Amino acid sequence: MTANTLNPRRLDSSERPRSERRGLARLRPALWHVIVLVLLLFLLYPVLWMVGSSFKPTQAIISTLSPWPKHFAGSNYSTGWQGSAGTTFSTYFLNSVLISVGAVIGNLASCSVTAYAMARLEFRGRALVTGLAIGMLLMPKEVLLIPQYLLFHKLGWVDTDLPLIVPKFLAVDAFFVFLNLQFMRGLPRELDEAAALDGCGPFRTFRYILLPLIRPAMATTAIFTFIWTWNDYFSQLIYLNSPDKQTLPVGLRMFLDATSGSELGPMFAMATVSLAPLFALFVFFQRNLVQGIATTGFKG
């Protein structure tokens, strides 16, 4: 085997980039594709099973391996949408959208302005402020959980959207401040100087010069803020109590409890609905997503 494959490879090496021959690269392309696709099939099976099962009658879900439904039943969606105890998924969905969009707007506005001031303006205490901002990256959220809850409790914000949105307008997500800061540091300072010569103050320089240029960082900020807020079960569980305030993650959980797992069809239908916006994001922004991770090296 090795003797046979040796020669063609030697021939190849003269015309192909050598990196192709590293490690597992010896696998022939077709075999490589087969391996990758089989792996993906196993990996994505739970997702396929969820989407497929959402069209099956409940009793046919657990016991069948094939994700493909024999008879399509759209009724799971209409049944599931009714939710539990009088609160429909329209409420959950709307609340999730509201909180996620609010968080995105907050992070976009606050993190970009903060990063601009730290990256581009000269002011007293600049080193301290920038150091502190980066130090906040290490701030453990578990320790803040209880005092923040007490703070918002005192302010009378528990059971409103405010604890989930307002802090985003105060640039408390150190990671995104850092991301924008690093991105802005990479832009040439001559831009600001030219703008200043033309009479632009800091605000106009930010608005008309820097803001259009940091769009990639803003895109990463927006996408990940949305995903993390959309999936954030923990804080929504803590801060939202009354049924009409609930979001999708909490609503799903309540639906599961109310039906004690007996209505799997509607359950899976609503699970699919709750992930639909993430699928959409994935389809439109898959390049940004993966690059965002690669360039910044954080977990998603």
Contact (CB, 8 A) for 164 and 103: yes
217 near another protein, judged by CB under 8 A:
no
Q: How far apart are CA 110 and CA 133, in angstroms?
A: 13
CA distance 237 to 205: 41
Dihedral (C-alpha) 111, 117, 120, 124: value to the nearest 10 degrees? -150
Residue 264 touches another protein, criterion: CB under 8 A? yes
Size of the site for another protein (CB under 8 A): 115
Give the shortest CB-86-to-another protein separation in angstroms.
Answer: 20
Give Cα 224 to chain centroid, integer Å.
4
Q: Which of 73, 113, 134, 219 binds another protein (CB under 8 A)?
A: 113
Candidate list 103, 176, 206, 266; residue touching another protein; CB under 8 A:
206
Please pick, from the candidates 99, 164, 165, 172, the single residue that binds another protein as defined by CB under 8 A: 172
Token representation of residue 189: 């300072």
Tell me whether residue 75 or residue 155 sits nearer to another protein (CB atom): 155
Q: Which stretch binds another protein (CB under 8 A): 47-55, 69-77, 81-89, 97-105?
A: 47-55
Identified binder of another protein from the candidate list 29, 71, 127, 128, rule CB under 8 A: 29
Note whether 278 binds another protein by CB under 8 A.
yes
Residue 21 corresponds to which amino acid?
R
Distance CA 75, CA 28 (A): 46
CA-atom Rg of the chain in angstroms:
25
Task: Determine if 61 is a binding residue for another protein (CB under 8 A).
Answer: yes
In 3-state terms, what secondary structure has residue 87?
strand
Instruction: With contacts defined by CB under 8 A, name the span among 69-77, 81-89, 97-105, 184-192 that binds another protein.
Output: 184-192
Describe the crossing of helices 264-296 and 215-231 by its angle, rounded to 10 degrees.
150
Which listed residue (43, 85, 127, 128) binds another protein by CB under 8 A? Answer: 43
Residues 126-155 that bind another protein (CB under 8 A): 126, 129, 132-133, 136, 139-151, 153
Establish if 284 lies at the interface with another protein (CB under 8 A).
no
